[in-house]
Amino acid sequence: MTPGISQLILSLKRLHRLSSVVDLLGWDEQVNLPEGSADFRSEQMAFMSELVHRESTSSEYLKTLMAAEDEIQSNRLSPEFRLVVEEARKEFNRETRLPSEFVARKSAAQSRSFHAWAVARRHNSFKDFAPYLKEQLELALEEASYQGYAREIAYDYWIDRFDPGMNRDIITPLFHSLVEELTPLVQKIMSSSIKPDLTIFKGFPIDQQDRFARHVVAKLGFDFHRGRLDRSLHPFCSGCGSDTRMTTRFFPDHPLDSLFSSIHETGHALYEQGLPTEFLGTALGSAAGMAVHESQSRLWENQIARSRAFWAYFEPIYREYFPNQLSEISSSQLFLAINAVEPIAIRVDSDEVTYNLHIVLRYEIETALFSGDLSIDQVPDRWNELMRKYLGFTPASDTEGCLQDVHWSTGSFGYFPSYTLGNMLAAQIWSTLSSEIHDIDAQMERGEFTQILQWLRSRIHAKGKQLSASSLAVDLTGSPLSHKPLVNYLTRRYSQTYQLIPASIHLT
Amino acid sequence: MTPGISQLILSLKRLHRLSSVVDLLGWDEQVNLPEGSADFRSEQMAFMSELVHRESTSSEYLKTLMAAEDEIQSNRLSPEFRLVVEEARKEFNRETRLPSEFVARKSAAQSRSFHAWAVARRHNSFKDFAPYLKEQLELALEEASYQGYAREIAYDYWIDRFDPGMNRDIITPLFHSLVEELTPLVQKIMSSSIKPDLTIFKGFPIDQQDRFARHVVAKLGFDFHRGRLDRSLHPFCSGCGSDTRMTTRFFPDHPLDSLFSSIHETGHALYEQGLPTEFLGTALGSAAGMAVHESQSRLWENQIARSRAFWAYFEPIYREYFPNQLSEISSSQLFLAINAVEPIAIRVDSDEVTYNLHIVLRYEIETALFSGDLSIDQVPDRWNELMRKYLGFTPASDTEGCLQDVHWSTGSFGYFPSYTLGNMLAAQIWSTLSSEIHDIDAQMERGEFTQILQWLRSRIHAKGKQLSASSLAVDLTGSPLSHKPLVNYLTRRYSQTYQLIPASIHLT
């Protein structure tokens, strides 16, 4: 390695050590923090964010960055290392454009807002959360303006933050086509005579659910030696430096929700644990973006963990963990429950078909908030109106409506589209992966997931930021990101489950 | 408040926010950290320590400090605020004398050494830990030399770090007198016909122990709204900014050890939670020193929680939690087990009489290590020799001998004496407290601990660093720190329990 790039990588690793302290403070805030310490933690995180900002915009660091850029000029860097330098420059410019005062102010506001959201959600009181949401939106607009994005395109700034290269021009038509094809599919499923019954799951003790979840996620490849599984109000996965920490939540009468939450987060965690550790903190050791991240979580959660092959292996084990609770539930009832499609209020508990409609709803609200077409006060009404339009009913409360997600409380606007982009990408990846590993079903039936993980590791995880969601789709499948593979996959799987088309058609 | 002191307090609070991030990283390391992340955490803590060091020695901070010092010169500060400035100056000078490079190196070495100790202890392999211990000793000597302490007095530097104003000249004669009086007391107890039986405690489920511990510590006044109770290899209590986190460990056949560990840490935690929150980070909101800290943990653990009055209230509740496990154990068997005196290998599981002999042993080893009279390799032999001298037997292994404590692994030399100084102080405090609260036994019998806590809060906790261990003894009792009240208290309590003297003598 030439001296410039090797010095830059050292500096980036140093910064990563510091920024991952902020990640840990955030994880601890959601998993451990006693309620009375919320304000102090806000101040602590604000101060730390300010320090990260200061370190990553220091003149000393700039010198290191420029020395590496000289090595690009003199053609001494491989494409991989050039990417490291270019991404570091992008990040440096982005950070430099933000005043220190803003960074600290935003961080403190985020923390306060997160706690206000948690309380408002508990009390079903959107009006208590509204001023915080307003502040988060204003901060998001302010940040976009520092980055040179006028109000009309501020939302594109935020989409790009989570998915480099993405914007409304790409997303809007994709989402439009998707809705057009999903709506009739949902209607067909709804009119099928086959009806899953989720009320038959009762009294699954939480500690036992926890043990089974650990069994499953370890089997999928999660490395507990470099990671943890804990509990929090909203499941999430956080790369805390060199260890990956995911959370879930358990309800005695909703064991499948908890299980699939854990598997979803495991998909994220396997991606994090598969990033090249020697390049952590650089573009080569960072996730490509949230759509790619979500493609991994959704692929494990849906394509893999809702398949017949997966349950051929895990059903007997599941019955060993819960002999009494499952004794009255037949295999076909269980499998149908796992593949239940039903419009419900809560996104994270939704099936993989209607899930995307929840995302389109949020995407439309965010678009309207950023353009100024929608005011904060109108959010609950618009939410309920779109729920009726896409899912056919009104949520019982704001707690089950516009207060359900953590994202807005911490200013993570522009994140939601990643979920459905991730679903599209997952379907594209799955079609290639399952054609290249010809005995994939047989492997899953034997509880073997190593080859699948290896495939994802070498084709996706190992590449860091070398491929974006768009270029990854092209690289793996030869086609750009599209709604078609997702629609095909969902149509095939659910036509079979709900007997919408003759079973003689070959289904994968 | 004058502008200089108010600005200094703001700066100190800012520094406290940062240093408490290091505390949290340390807590997380012992409670949560996946094994594979140990090295990364070491680097992370080293970087953070360097940042704390940099911030607390910055020229900007120095200016703030000097402006406050000007207000001392012009007689504008109350004694309390003068103390804040003087302590800040002491701390600044101490920090400034340490090179940044040393601070980072020491922090990284500490973290590595902690993990090496944990493994060595598991494998009963002192030789694997020896190089790390040597490094810790060398770092301790190096730090003392930066502070102007030659090798001959380097140990005094470390004693003073934990207990301002303390040194070997005060401690050695106190410990000598204490050993002289305790040794015959232990012998008398050993030859009593009354023998506690600890083997009758079997199969106390860990989760249930955990629930009972939470019940007890909440009753004593621990505020879960601003604190946590978790599990770790070695119990500890850490002030993580505005919340106080304590840990314990549970063994099914040693429920009393676990319970008294929790109560011990609760004593620390009540002190931390009683420090004036508005002055956190300044001398007025900081613990006076480790001897005072230990006086609080020992007072709750021993004077209070081993008393008849305490168990008059808690025994029925304990039996409700463990009806089967306690069914064959009589009240007098239980009380005798709680007050069992028996020389054993493990300090933290030792009774309050022999405990002090464990401390004297460590004090002698530390003294000899610092003077150079003892080499690292000789530690296990010297340990076992002193065990025979003071406790009458040789530990079965180094795991149960010189590898048992965490302290040396993180370079905390000079800390051990605080435990016995704390025991002395606790006895002195208790004699005043129990004479001022005349119905103290009746209160405890009713499960009321509020007035005791209020007394400790107003007389000790609220004062922060305004009183040291020595001045606190004088302030509360009119006499300097002495071994006598401890000897008297132990003699009274255990003479009664083991019927060493006629019961007609009035015992309190």
Task: Reply yes or no on whether the pLDDT at B40 is more than 70.
Answer: yes
Contact A85, A75 (CB under 8 A): no
Cα B345 to Cα B380: distance, rounded to the nearest angstrom? 13
Query: Quick one: closest CA in A to B48, which residue?
Result: A18
Average pLDDT of A229-255? 91
Average pLDDT value over all residues in chain A: 95
- Rounded to the nearest 5 degrees, what angle is found at the Cα of A396, between the Cα atoms of A395 and A397? 95
| End-to-end CA separation in angstroms for chain A | 46
- Which of A16, A18, A44, A279 is the best substitution to test chain B (most B C-beta atoms within 10 A)? A44
**DSSP-derived 3-state class of residue B114:** helix
CA-atom Rg of chain A in angstroms? 23
Cβ <8 Å between B40 and A17: yes
A265 is catalytic: yes
Of B43, B225, B241, the CB nearest to A17: B43
How far does B36 lie from chain A, in Å, by closest CA? Answer: 5
Mean pLDDT of B21-28: 94
> What gap in Å lies between CA A421 and CA A298, rounded to an integer?
11
> What is the structure's pLDDT at A501?
66
Does residue B162 contact residue B415 with C-beta atoms inside 8 Å?
A: yes
Cα–Cα–Cα angle for A288, A294, A296, rounded to 5 degrees: 85
Nearest to A243 among B14, B36, B228 (CB): B36
Q: Is residue B84 over pLDDT 90?
A: yes
Residue A504 pLDDT greater than 50, yes or no: no
Would you state the structure tokens that stand for residue A69, as one six-digit string? Answer: 């850029």
**Shortest Cα distance, chain A CAs vs residue B464, angstroms:** 20
What is the Cβ-side half-sphere exposure of residue A71, based on CA atoms within 13 angstroms? 24
Q: What are phi and psi of B406, to 5 degrees?
A: -75, -25
Contact call for A241 and B33, based on CB within 8 A: no
Percent of chain A with pLDDT over 90: 91
pLDDT at position A54 over 60: yes
Average pLDDT of the residues in A16-42: 93
3-class DSSP assignment, residue B411: coil
Cross-chain residue pair B36–A228, CB shorter than 8 Å:
no
Which has the closest alpha carbon to B266: B100, B435, B453, B478? B453
What are the φ/ψ torsions at residue A228 (nearest 5 degrees)? -140, 160
Chain B contact set for A241 (CB, 8 A): 37, 40-41, 44
Partner-chain contact B17 A44, CB within 8 Å: yes
**What are residue A230's DSSP bridge partners?**
A247
Contact B243 A34 (CB under 8 A): yes
**Which of A24, A34, A240 is closest, CB to CB, to B226?**
A34
For residue A231, the SS3 value is strand
| CB-CB contact of B485 with B428 (8 Å) | yes
**What's the rounded Cα separation, in Å, for the pair B321 and A346?**
39
| pLDDT > 70? residue A317 | yes
The 3-state secondary structure of A171-191 reads: HHHHHHHHHHHHHHHHHHHHC
In order of A210, A315, A318, B18, the CA distances from A312 in angstroms are 21, 6, 11, 52
Residue of B nearest to A228 (CA): B34
* Cβ contacts of A48 on chain B, cutoff 8 Å: 18, 21
| Dihedral sign for Cα atoms in the order A141, A145, A146, A147 | positive
What's the confidence (pLDDT) of residue A104? 84
B173: left (phi > 0), else alpha (psi -120 to 50), else beta?
alpha
Amino acid at B158: W
Judge: A33–B242 Cβ closer than 8 Å, yes or no.
Answer: no
Region for residue A17 given its phi and psi (left: phi exceeds 0; alpha: psi -120 to 50; beta: otherwise): alpha
Q: Do the strands B227-231 and B243-248 form a parallel or antiparallel pair, or are they unpaired?
A: parallel
Residue A242: which of B24, B37, B48 has the nearest Cβ?
B37
DSSP string, B346-410: -STTS-TTTHHHHHHHHHHHHHHHHHTSS-GGGHHHHHHHHHHHHHSS--SSSTTTTTS-SGGGG
ipTM, 2 decimals?
0.89
Closest CB from B21, B28, B43 relative to A48? B21
What span, in angstroms and rounded, lies between the C-alpha atoms of B178 and B94?
Answer: 33
Task: Look at residues B29, B491, B481 and name the one whose alpha carbon lies nearest to residue B294.
Answer: B481
H/E segment holding residue A52: helix A38-56
The string of pLDDT tens digits covering residues A374-416 is 999 999 999 999 999 999 999 999 999 999 999 999 999 999 9
- What the block records as the tokens of A145 is 């303006």
Residue with tokens 């990040």: A91
Question: Chain A contacts of B224, Cβ < 8 Å?
Answer: 34
Q: Which residue is it, tokens 């050695």?
A: B172
Say yes or no for a CB contact (<8 Å) between A37 and B226: yes
pLDDT tens-place string over residues A77-132: 999 999 999 999 999 999 999 998 998 899 889 988 988 999 999 999 999 999 99
Instruction: Report DSSP state, residue A163.
Output: S
Q: Cα B377 vs. chain centroid, distance in angstroms? A: 27
pLDDT band at A42 (very low <50, low <70, confident <90, very high): confident
Q: What integer pLDDT is reported at residue B505 of this predicted model?
A: 44
Across the interface, do B44 and A20 touch by the CB < 8 Å criterion? yes
Chain-chain contact of A18 with B226 (C-beta, under 8 angstroms):
no
Tally Cβ neighbours within 10 Å of residue B145.
14
Place of tokens 């987060």: A265
* SS3 (DSSP) at B259: helix
Place of tokens 């994005």: A149
Residue B351 has pLDDT above 70, yes or no: yes
d(CA B421, CA A472): 66
> Is residue A502 pLDDT above 90, yes or no?
no
Q: How far is CA B372 from CA B151, B349, B376, in A?
A: 9, 30, 10
DSSP A98: S
User: How far is A481 from A503, CA to CA, in rounded Å?
Assistant: 29
The yes-or-no verdict on residue B80 having pLDDT over 90 is yes
* Contact criterion met (CB < 8 Å) for A241 and B24: no
Which residues contact residue B207 at a Cβ distance below 8 angstroms, ignoring those fewer than 6 apart?
Answer: none
B416 pLDDT higher than 90: yes
The chain A residues in contact with chain B (CB within 8 A) are: 14, 17-18, 20-21, 24-25, 28, 32-37, 39-41, 43-44, 47-48, 51, 223-228, 240-243
**B45 and B103 Cβ atoms separated by less than 8 Å:** no
Which helix (H) or strand (E) segment holds residue A391: the answer is helix A379-391
Give the SS3 label for residue B2: coil
Which of A10, A13, A17 to mutate to probe the B interface, most B CBs <10 Å? A17
Query: Which residue, among A498, A440, A102, A446, has the nearest Cα to A304 in the 3D structure?
Result: A440
CB pairs below 8 Å between A and B: how many? 86
Q: Are A336 and A382 in contact (CB under 8 A)?
A: no
Q: Show residues of chain A in contact with B18, CB under 8 Å.
A: 44, 47-48, 51
**Alpha carbon distance, N-terminus to C-terminus of chain B:** 47
CATH (one of 1.10.1370.30, 3.40.50.300, 3.10.20.810, 1.10.3720.10) for B168-497: 1.10.1370.30
Report CA-CA distances (Å) from B54 to A7, B117, B129, B195: 22, 29, 31, 57
Which residues in B lie closer than 8 A to residue A224 (C-beta atoms)? Answer: 34
**Chain B residues whose beta carbon lies within 8 Å of the beta carbon of residue A52:** none
Q: Are B421 and B291 in contact (CB under 8 A)?
A: yes
A238: which strand partners?
Answer: A245
**Would the CB atoms of B28 and A28 count as touching at under 8 Å?**
yes
Sheet bearing A243-248, strands edge to edge: A227-231, A243-248, A237-240
Pairing of strands A243-248, A227-231: parallel
Q: State how far the Cα of A407 lies from the Cα of A388, in Å rounded to an integer.
A: 22
**For residue A507, what pLDDT is reported?**
42
pLDDT in tens, A422-462: 999 999 999 999 999 999 999 999 999 999 999 999 999 99
Mean pLDDT of B140-160: 97
Contact A241 B44 (CB under 8 A): yes
- Round to whole Å and give the CA distance between B203 and B322: 10
Evaluate whether A493 touches A427 at the Cβ level (below 8 Å): no
Q: Which residues of B touch A (CB under 8 A)?
A: 14, 17-18, 20-21, 24-25, 28, 32-37, 39-41, 43-44, 47-48, 51, 223-228, 240-243
Closest by CA to A33, choosing from A102, A118, A103, A106, is A118
Q: Which of B50, B265, B272, B364 is catalytic?
A: B265
Catalytic residue, chosen from A71, A143, A265, A301, is A265
Residue type present at position B506:
H
Query: How is chain A split into domains, by residue range?
Result: 3-147, 168-497
Q: Mean pLDDT, to the nearest integer, of A342-368?
A: 96
Tell me the C-alpha to C-alpha distance, in Å, between residue B59 and each of A126, B8, B82: 47, 13, 21
Mean pLDDT, all residues of chain B = 95
What is the arithmetic mean of pLDDT over A453-476?
Answer: 95
As to burial, measured by CB atoms within 10 angstroms (0-12 exposed, 13-18 middle, 19+ buried), residue A432 is middle
